[in-house]
Structure 1
């Protein structure tokens, strides 16, 4: 994730810059292990790619939601196991609770999913 710099979230649109020789074939926005939107990838300068993804309104609800930008994620509705995690963002909405156990569980699940994918990739023959 070190070559991705987030430029923030504004009007439901998450923007960032990816520093690489070549841009990814496909970048998607994922939530809870499924693809919810395709991101737009445009070349800003040689070796600098602007990535923009719109958070679907239907994916927002009370509490915290974690969204992931995945590079080279295949062509289906479920991310390809070899996809690359470019960045993550968490969005909190609704009434804020002092201790939001659901938000903590969502973050732990997202990290666990990432670790499982990496482990599978490393241990594949």
Structure 2
């Protein structure tokens, strides 16, 4: 039996979308679940692609109440087997902005160091 695959296609307008690829020899439709902090997230849909056999469109609207400062991880799995099929992460809030500013300052400092080293190298190479 080949594996069931869930491939992300996009996250748009708060809705995570993916394609569920089912093997030809699958006898029963998998029971998918979405979890956040080990709690179920309800409201996903699964619609068959009429033009491609074995492909289903999976959609889950990310509940607004689950979006908050920090990192939020959502895991999509096969309820029957426990197999993790996919996951997605949403990062938001002020803490993130501080982290990005600190990372940018570090990158600028490293770039300045590289520019000085390159100029020094060019001067040394030009003198020989």
TM-score class, shorter-chain normalisation, is 0.5 to 0.7
Runs of 4+ that moved beyond 6 A: none
Q: CA deviation at 1:2?
A: 7.7
Measured in 1, the distance between the counterparts of 2:10 and 2:39 equals 22
Please report the RMSD computed on the Cα atoms of aligned residues, expressed in angstroms: 2.3
Structure 1 residues 35 and 86: CA distance shift in structure 2, 3 A: same
**Matching of residues 37-48 of structure 1 within 5 Å:** 37-44=42-49, 45-48=52-55
Unmatched 5+ stretches in structure 1: 75-81, 100-125
3-state DSSP of counterpart to 1:98: helix
Match of 2:7 in 1: 5
Matched, 1:32 2:37: yes
Structure 1 or 2: larger strand share? 1
* Structural mapping, 1:1-125, within 5 Å: 3-21=5-23, 22=26, 24-44=29-49, 45-71=52-78, 73=79, 82-95=81-94, 96=96, 97-98=98-99
Equivalent residues, number: 91
Q: Distance in 2 between matches of 1:11 and 1:43?
A: 22
Identify unmatched segments of 5+ residues in structure 2.
Answer: 101-128
Residue 27 of structure 1, CA deviation? 2.0
Identify, as 1 or 2, the structure richer in helix: 2
Q: For 2:89, what is the secondary structure of its paired residue?
A: strand
Q: Pick the structure with greater CA Rg.
A: 2
**TM-score of the aligned structures, taking structure 2 as reference length:** 0.62
